[in-house]
Amino acid sequence: MKLVKSLLLGSAAGLCAVAGAQAADLPVRKAAPVEYVRVCTAHGAGFFYIPGTDTCLRVGGRARFEYQYSSQNARAANVSSWRGLGRLNIDARTATPYGTLRAFVRFEIASRTGGYLRSGTQERYANAFPATGIDTAGQLQKYVDVDKAFVQFAGITAGRAQSFFDFYAGDLEFFGAGIYSNTNTNLLAYTATFGGGFSATVSMEDPVYRRNPVFAVPAAGSGLMPGGGGVPGISAIATGINIAGVPTGGAGVNVIQKNDMPDFVGALRYDSAWGSAQVMGAVHEIKTIGRLATPVAGPGPDAEYGWAIGAGVKVNLPQLAPGDQLWLQGAYGQGAGSYTGIYNPPGAELALSSITNKFQINQVDATVQANGQLNLTESWSVMGALLHYWSPEWRQAVFATYGQQNYDPRLRSNTFGPVGITGTLGGAPTTVNPFNPTLMSYDLFYGGTNLIWSPVRDLDIGVEVVYQRIWLPRAVADNNRGTVAPLAGGLVGPGGVTRVTNFDDNIMARIRVQRDF
């Protein structure tokens, strides 16, 4: 038995020795070298090299909470609003013999509820998706947007970016709804740098993001004025006027605008240690589809070219405190309300808008006259903003914007204005109902202040309070406080108006907690 046991142990030992010898004869495979991420210092902090390339990448973003209170006067209005927002930034840069090749992308995704934070503008631009429930329709919105996506190379900027007409663009505000241009759009631009801080840009930009409606006749049943065919974008305008100045016929005109000529923007800019300055101009085509039917002879609306000019200056004020800034800006335009910013506070891409529904104002770049031609709308705006650091952790901004939109007063007469906004009393031509604000000029004010605490780097906790107001040159019916009793011919006499007003205003406050990374 001992002999068998010895033989088995010896055999096992021999097998192990042979196996060990064979294993020792096998080649040893070396581990692949690890390519660690390297910091890229050529383009600023936060960049690193994409492994295996010479491209530097920076990934950043933002998380934000907001609550807003509005002192709405209308019973059906939302007083409270909420928003949670996420942002992702991707910035890729590569050094080339022609300079830096850059690609930048910014995505914003938000869920928001309530009044002001539910943006009808984003829904009209197909960037947001509203709820449809009984208690959520018009009050809840998901927002997904490619906020920016552009390539920069050798002076060329191509993609979705901030319009080169913009200068201040709400840099110091929470709401960013003041009376100034603040538009992201699709564009192709070239910037020439001359040295000494001077540069000039010529930009071809998407007109859709700058477009505001053309006014002719409101659709039937809107409750604003008599007339209209009830078809969106289609209106009847007069093309025949008798000796008494009374319209004798009409033509169907489709006032929907289609893409024809892009907007052209030019800007001359200066940057230095003391701050920045810019002068800018823009041309914006207004062209409707045109005539649909011709009951009487007469031309359809021809294309008109709106335009805007502006200037701005930013002054650094380190003598007050490090980081202090002063901004001043002004703009004037005709048929270019988006560039002057006159449509920014109430909304965008709306023929009619309001603050608290006391009355509705027209926000149109042009009006189809009785003779079938387009009458451009005049507007202008000015703004100022000051940022002051009380300490490195506490800062405050104070800002104010003022603007005016002026319609040709003849547009409210039946010999010059669109059919449907006039009436007759005893067979004699008269002007439009004086208590109706349609095509009435107005003034806008928007201003406020915010206070921000930054206890640690890239964390902001703050509150902002703003006040906005619309003035009209004379009293109109107050929709929130009474009804209008019409008289013969579609007119309203003083006795038919229960309550009137010539202004509308609102106070809004917003709390924000924001972390950038």
Task: Give every CB contact of residue 238 below 8 A, 6+ residues apart in sequence.
Answer: 247, 248, 249, 250, 370, 371, 418, 419
The pLDDT value recorded for residue 174 is: 95
The predicted structure's pLDDT at residue 489: 43
Contacts of 369 (CB under 8 A, 6+ apart): 237, 375, 411, 416, 417, 418
User: Which of these, 237, 238, 220, lies nearest to 229 by C-alpha position?
Assistant: 220
**Token output for 345:** 């506070």
- In this model, does residue 350 exceed pLDDT 80? no
Cα(135)–Cα(211) distance, rounded to whole angstroms? 32
Give the C-alpha separation, 301 to 288, whole Å. 7
Check: CB of residue 363 under 8 Å from CB of residue 370: no
Tokens of 98: 């022609």
Give the model's confidence band at 414: pLDDT under 50 very low, under 70 low, under 90 confident, else very high: low
CA distance 267 to 66: 34
- What is the per-residue pLDDT across 214-225, written as a single tens digit (0 to 9) for each? 887 643 333 333
Tokens of 175: 């709401």
* Closest CA relative to residue 361, chosen from 374, 342, 375, 380: 342
pLDDT in tens, 125-166: 788 899 889 888 888 999 889 999 999 999 999 999 999 999
**Mean pLDDT confidence for 114-135:** 83
- Per-residue pLDDT reduced to its tens digit, 157-198: 999 999 999 999 999 999 988 999 999 999 999 999 999 999
Q: What count of other Cβ atoms lies within 10 Å of the Cβ of residue 336? A: 30
1 pLDDT above the threshold of 50 = no
Provide the pLDDT for residue 77. 74
- Using DSSP's 3-state secondary structure scheme, residue 493 falls into coil
**Contact residues for 291 (Cβ-Cβ < 8 A; gap 6+):** 251, 252, 253, 254, 300
The three-state secondary structure class of 70 is strand
pLDDT over 90 for what percent of the chain? 55
- Residue 470, classified by CB atoms within 10 Å of its CB into exposed (0-12), middle (13-18) or buried (19+), is buried
> Sign of the C-alpha dihedral, residues 433, 434, 437, 438?
positive
Domains belonging to the chain, first-starting first, are 56-148 (no CATH), 155-516 (2.40.160)
pLDDT at 34: 59
Give yes or no for a contact between 492 and 56, defined as CB atoms under 8 angstroms apart: no
C-alpha to C-alpha distances, 46 to 11, 42, 59, 143, nearest whole angstrom:
65, 10, 8, 28
Residue 264: count of CB within 10 angstroms of its CB: 16
The span from the CA of 514 to the CA of 517, in Å, is 10
Q: Which of 62-66, 295-299, 420-424 has the highest mean pLDDT?
A: 62-66
Task: Identify the pLDDT of residue 415.
Answer: 66
For the segment 409-416, the average pLDDT, to the nearest whole number, is 76
9 contacts: CB under 8 Å, gap ≥ 6: none
- Is the pLDDT at 93 greater than 50? The verdict is yes
- pLDDT higher than threshold 80 for residue 386: yes
